[in-house]
Amino acid sequence: MPEAPTFEIKIFADGADVESIIELSKEPLIAGFTTNPTLMRKAGIAEYEEFARDVLGHVGGRAISFEVISDEFDDMRRQARRLSSWGANVYVKIPVTNTRGESTGNLIRELSREGVKLNVTAILSLAQVESVANALEESAGAIVSVFAGRIADAGQDPIPLMAAARDVLVPFPAMELLWASPREILNLCQAVAVGCDIITMTHDLLRKIGGLGRDLEEVSLDTVKMFYDDAKSAGYLL
């Protein structure tokens, strides 16, 4: 990974490619790891527990999040307890609702009281942030993942919502606000400015961190060179 400035924020690598996770585990910039069933499927993961235990053997004591894969609360509870048992650094991802739109608040409250480390995911509204904060109020530590990138994909500016979410969580120092699904390096700077505790970044996005602070005329020249070299390599004629 290219060298990059340090930030007052934790960077979690988001992905399921085991080789990339192993390489990123050697980087001091990476404070933790996250994954989800969609990323695992894209990476060709066939066996959940085999993948998870393999990854756990490489990330040391850094935080890593694994997600429940059930839509029923009783089975979510069972899966959460099992996932949590795999390591003290494991955070269990619980979606803010199931696929029927039913709140997981009661389950979140129950699991957090048991001492299960939670990463509540798929949050996209301030009302959801408030509900989750209420459910986690007795938690010894949890992550609140707000999908800022998906808010932006819906044509809305995520920054006011992220700032409001930060305000909601201020009375709960054990809860960390996570900027999820960033689309560009600018989002890292925005997450720092808002006061987020964590940002997730895909392996591809992490490769771009070294470009932070570059002179824009230098970037312009590199872009011109790229277009020229590609046209020459392709053998285009006019």
For 127-176, the pLDDT digits (tens) are 999 999 999 998 989 999 999 999 999 999 999 999 999 999 999 999 99
Q: Is 208 a catalytic residue?
A: no
Domains present along the chain, CATH in parentheses: 10-211 (3.20.20.70)
pLDDT in tens, 45-86: 999 999 999 999 999 999 999 999 999 999 999 999 999 999
Run of H or E including 50: helix 48-56
The Cα 115–Cα 164 span in angstroms is: 27
Q: Which one is catalytic: 26, 42, 93, 225?
A: 93
Q: What percent of the chain is predicted at pLDDT more than 90?
A: 93
| CA-only gyration radius of the chain, Å | 19
Task: Give the whole-angstrom CA distance, residue 14 versus residue 224.
Answer: 31
- Its pTM stands at 0.93
Residue type for position 155: G
Residue 164: how many CA atoms within 13 Å on its side-chain side? 13
Q: What is the pLDDT of residue 5?
A: 54
Q: Rounded to whole angstroms, how far apart are CA atoms 113 and 138?
A: 6
Which residue shows structure tokens 């996209």? 124
Decide: 207 and 2 in contact? Cβ < 8 Å.
Answer: yes
Distance of CA 42 to the CA centre of its chain: 16
Cβ–Cβ under 8 Å, residues 99 and 72: no
Q: Quickly list DSSP for 125-174.
A: SHHHHHHHHHHTTT-SSEEEEE-HHHHHHTT--HHHHHHHHHHHHTT-TT
Please choose, from the candidates 155, 209, 214, the residue with its C-alpha nearest in 3D space to the C-alpha of residue 184. 209
